[in-house]
Amino acid sequence: MTMTMIDSDNCWTAVLARDRAADGRFVTGVLTTGIYCRPSCAARHPRRENVRFFADGAAARAEGLRPCLRCSPDDVSRDERAVLAAIATIKAAGQPLALAALAGEAGYSPAHFQRVFKRHTGLSPAAYARALMTERAADALTGEGNVTEAIYAAGYSGPSRFYEGTQGRLGMTPSAWANGGKGAVIHWAVVDTTLGSMLVAATDKGVCRLSFNEGREALEKRFPQAELIEGGEAFAALLGDVVAAVEAPGDFAHIPLDVKGTAFQEAVWRELQRIPAGETRTYAQLAAAVGRPKAVRAAGSANGANNVAVLIPCHRVINTGGGLGGYAYGLEIKRKLLQKESQ
- pLDDT of residue 144 exceeding 50, the answer is no
Residue 45, SS3 per DSSP: coil
Calpha distance 174→138 (Å, rounded): 8
Residue 71 falls in the annotated catalytic set? no
Name which CATH class applies to 75-179.
mainly alpha
Mean pLDDT of 306-324: 86
**pLDDT band (50, 70, 90) for residue 36:** very high
- pLDDT of residue 50 exceeding 90, the answer is yes
Mean pLDDT of 121-128: 78
Mean pLDDT of 317-324: 81
Give the pLDDT of residue 266: 83
- pLDDT of residue 154 exceeding 60, the answer is no
Q: Among 48-52, 128-132, 184-188, where is mean pLDDT lowest?
A: 128-132
- Does 75-179 match 263-342 in CATH topology? yes
CB neighbours of residue 329 within 10 Å: 18
Half-sphere exposure of 198 (CA within 13 A, CB side): 23
Residues in a beta bridge with 186: 228
Measured in degrees and rounded to the nearest 5, phi and psi for residue 54 equal -125, 150
pLDDT per position as a tens digit, 237-277: 889 889 988 887 666 777 888 777 777 888 888 889 888 88
**pLDDT band (50, 70, 90) for residue 341:** confident
Give the pLDDT of residue 2: 38
Calpha distance 329→309 (Å, rounded): 9
Higher-pLDDT residue of 170 and 238 is 238
Please state the length of the chain: 343
Calpha distance 292→188 (Å, rounded): 36
- Tell me which of 37, 41, 68, 71 is the catalytic residue: 37
Give the pLDDT of residue 170: 47
CATH number of the structural domain 263-342: 1.10.10.10
Residue 257, SS3 per DSSP: strand
Which letter, b or e, does each residue of 5-20 get, where b requires 16 or more Cβ atoms within 10 Å of its Cβ?
A: eeeeebbbebbeebbe
**Sequence-distant (≥ 6) Cβ neighbours of residue 186 within 8 angstroms:** 201, 202, 203, 208, 219, 223, 226, 227, 228, 229
Report the share of the chain in percent with pLDDT over 70: 81
Give the pLDDT of residue 9: 83
- pLDDT of residue 159 exceeding 50, the answer is no
Q: Where are the alpha helices (DSSP H) in the chain?
A: 8-16, 57-62, 75-93, 99-106, 110-121, 125-141, 147-153, 159-166, 174-178, 216-222, 233-247, 263-274, 283-289, 296-304, 331-342
CATH number of the structural domain 185-246: 3.30.160.70
Q: Where are the domains of the chain?
A: 8-73, 75-179, 185-246, 263-342
Residue 37 falls in the annotated catalytic set? yes
Name residue 129's amino acid.
Answer: A
Mean pLDDT of 38-62: 91
Note whether 188 and 228 are within 8 A (CB): yes
Calpha distance 128→110 (Å, rounded): 16
Mean pLDDT of 58-84: 86
Give the pLDDT of residue 21: 64
How would CATH label the architecture of 8-73? 3-Layer(aba) Sandwich (3.40)
Residue 125, SS3 per DSSP: helix
Q: Cα Rg for the chain, rounded, in angstroms?
A: 23
- pLDDT of residue 65 exceeding 90, the answer is yes
**pLDDT band (50, 70, 90) for residue 136:** low
Note whether 57 and 27 are within 8 A (CB): yes
pLDDT per position as a tens digit, 175-219: 444 456 667 788 999 999 999 999 999 888 788 889 999 999 988
Give the pLDDT of residue 51: 95
Name residue 250's amino acid.
Answer: G
